[in-house]
């Protein structure tokens, strides 16, 4: 049995089980392969790093296989998780960028003024030095130090 990492033209990643590499080639050239998520038929084989295929053997053997797997090159499943996280993170960043006002370097001053009630509260974002960040946190200002991917804020300007 041969397990191959496949992906469709939409970027969905899934595993295909074949009797052999040749079996995959035959099914591929006959367009018999479809993506389980979008039914798209443009399937390609992923060039993935060598990985451990875990058999559902005895508990002990499995545990040690997983332990050694972790120290090696990330598995396709781990990569998939990472990509999902990245996508979610990008989406969240974009959301934050859209729903906050960029006050740039005045961030610390503005956040303090709002915290002290000198100014109306509104969601803002901007730059702060590590020292300013600590100052705000020590004053009890509810801020969240985050690095937003530049692309998510650039597209809005
Ligand atoms: Zn797909």
- Domain hosting 66: range is 2-74
**DSSP states along 5-53:** EEEETT--EEEEEESSHHHHHHHHHTT----TTT----EEE--------
| Residue 14 CA to ligand 1 centre (angstroms) | 9
CA distance 132 to 112: 10
For residue 144, the model assigns a pLDDT of: 81
Degrees, nearest 5: CA angle 48-50-52: 120
| Residue 72 CA to ligand 1 centre (angstroms) | 28
Number of compact structural domains in the chain: 2
- The answer to the question of residue 23 being in a domain is yes
- The answer to the question of residue 85 being in a domain is no
- The answer to the question of residue 54 being in a domain is yes
* Contact between residue 10 and residue 40 where contact means Cβ atoms under 8 Å apart: yes
| Residue 117 CA to ligand 1 centre (angstroms) | 51
Report the SS3 class of residue 129. coil
Same-domain check for residues 69 and 104:
no
Same-domain check for residues 8 and 68:
yes
- The answer to the question of residue 88 being in a domain is no
- The answer to the question of residue 26 being in a domain is yes
Same-domain check for residues 66 and 105:
no
| Residue 156 CA to ligand 1 centre (angstroms) | 29
Whether pTM exceeds 0.85? no
pLDDT tens string, the chain, 157 residues long: the values are 888 888 888 888 888 888 888 999 999 999 889 888 888 889 988 765 455 454 444 444 444 444 444 445 667 787 788 778 777 777 777 788 888 898 999 999 999 999 999 999 888 999 888 889 889 989 998 888 777 766 566 544 4
CA distance 87 to 25: 31
């Amino acid at each position: 049995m041969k397990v191959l990492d496949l992906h469709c033209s939409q970027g969905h990643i899934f595993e295909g089980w074949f009797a052999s590499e040749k079996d995959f080639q035959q099914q591929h050239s006959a367009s018999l392969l479809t993506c389980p998520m979008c039914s798209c038929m443009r399937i390609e084989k992923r060039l993935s790093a060598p990985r451990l295929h875990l058999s559902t053997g005895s508990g002990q053997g499995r545990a040690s296989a997983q332990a050694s797997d972790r120290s090696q090159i990330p598995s396709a499943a781990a990569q998939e998780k990472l990509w999902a996280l990245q996508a979610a993170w990008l989406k969240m960043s974009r959301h934050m960028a859209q729903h906050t006002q960029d006050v740039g370097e005045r961030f610390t001053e503005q956040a303090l003024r709002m915290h002290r009630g000198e100014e109306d509260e509104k969601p803002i974002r901007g730059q702060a030095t590590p020292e300013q960040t600590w100052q705000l946190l020590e004053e009890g200002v509810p801020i969240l130090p985050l690095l937003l991917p530049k692309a998510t804020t650039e597209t809005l300007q």
